[in-house]
Amino acid sequence: MARRSLFSKPLMSLISRLHFYVGLFVGPFILVAALSGIAYVISPALEAWVYQDALKGTQQGDVQPLRAQIAAAQDYLDSAASPDAVRPAPEPGDTTRIMFSDPVLAPSQHNAVFVDPVTLNITGETKVYGTSGILPLRTSIDLFHRQLLLGDTGRLYSELAASWLWVMALGGIVLWLNRRHALNATQGPRRLAKRHATLGVVLTTGLLLFSATGLTWSQWAGGNIAELRHTWGWNTPSVSTDLRAGDTIQNDEHAEHRGHAQTANTQAPAVSLITFDHALHAARQAGLEADRLQITPPTSPDQAWRVAEIDRRWPTQVDQVALHPRTMAVIDRTDFATFPLAAKLTRWGIDLHMGVLFGTINQLVLGVLAAGIVVLVVWGYTLWWRRVSRSSSHRFPTVSEPWALLPPGTKLGLVGVALALGMALPVLGVSLTLFACIDALRWAAIKRRQSICIRPNTPH
């Protein structure tokens, strides 16, 4: 007894051919994103090894006040400039990271001096990138993963991959549900198709996660997602340091991955170094308990100090307080426990994508998922090559052919969905339009050739 298909035969053929072409043409971009993603996942371990001399200090001994550590960094640089931000050593044996502005650096970069908090020795100096302060090796991997080191133009590659990844994943699920019984009965060379389909099903959740979180960083779709979150009140709160207005502002969770620094890369006003110790003490008194903190002094007379937890492992510690520059009283605060659920989910999704939420376990899972994507793409191209090798005819079937067989109502519904997706995900919409035009031209050319071949010969 024949099993009933989930959809009509023309619609299933349409899904199958679209899945084929997405894999064929978008596959290389997905492959590059997966391989560079693997590199990014292992970059924290590489970073800890490459920069171990700078990151590690004296294990035992009395920790010197922050003012002494900052003074040591200033002496090393032979400059009296106040730091833009200070990250006290989170654990014994770690170094304090003191970040300074430098006019020769990009807006999202700082010059970081690493100080042993016990001996006050300078253990290293290097550029750091973004609000997360990632080091040069990880910065290069991050930029390659996001934009192939090509700036904003290169971001189109990652947005194209993220825009189509979920379409390919869901299309694969539909095809597997429709063909799983036939796949189970396959033997010989066709067993690769079964493995490809099974692996795709196993990785579906990860594929959708990568696609959704990747889109939030994208240039065009990410902007639409940000507007949607703002409209629905899903933004992440952040303290206001403006002494003239105490309203809570909204934070950009992607700032570090985009390279946007929260502190301006301009010369900060001079502040008394002892005030850093006062700010740290006031933040602890206000309930900031995380080992990993960042202390940011005011950049103008009408701004407050900001002290923020920056530990985004589980449980997430990202509370912030704004402190009055004279009294060190808390004038504003945000607590992660009071964030809207949508803001928490966004924070966790981003941290999960970056491999920091659950530490090493998170990184291992992401590495396995990315490796699975690489295998999926390779197997997909292998299946295509076998098809090409077996027959020279119908290697590239058109999508327009099954489209023409669909009922008008189905066509109208699919066009509506495509328009909505194209507006929300512009790169997907543009690439889909381009593909549809090329496919329609190919179909018209095929029909014209077929009509010429079957046309009866006319007498001379």
Q: Does residue 261 register a pLDDT over 50?
A: no
The full 3-state SS of 128-182, as one line of letters, equals EECCCCECHHHHHHHHHHHHCCCCCCCHHHHHHHHHHHHHHHHHHHHHHHHHHHH
| pLDDT value of position 1 | 46
pLDDT tens digits for range 333-367: 999 999 989 889 989 999 999 999 999 999 999 99
**Average of per-residue pLDDT across 23-41:** 96
Residue 381: band (very low, low, confident or very high) from pLDDT cuts 50, 70, 90: very high
For helices 204-217 and 341-354, angle between their N-to-C axes, nearest 10 degrees: 100
pLDDT tier at 437, thresholds 50, 70, 90: very high
Q: Domain coordinates of the chain in residue numbers?
A: 9-42+153-218+360-450, 57-133+237-339
Cβ-based neighbours of 146, under 8 Å, separated by 6 or more: 154, 155, 158, 217, 257
**What pLDDT score was predicted for residue 218?**
92
Residue 175 has pLDDT above 80, yes or no: yes
Residue found by looking up tokens 């291992």 in the block: 364
What would the DSSP string read from start to end of 379-396? HHHHHHHHHHHH-SSSSS
The pLDDT value given to residue 139:
93
Which of 20-24, 48-52, 259-263, 411-415 has the weakest average pLDDT?
Answer: 259-263
Local confidence band at 256 (pLDDT 50, 70, 90 cut-offs): low
Nearest residue to 436 via CA among 16, 18, 11: 18
- Note if the pTM is more than 0.85: yes
Tell me the pLDDT tens digit for each residue of 202-237: 999 999 999 999 999 899 999 999 888 888 878 888
Task: Give the model confidence (pLDDT) of 269-282 as tens digits.
Answer: 578 999 999 999 99
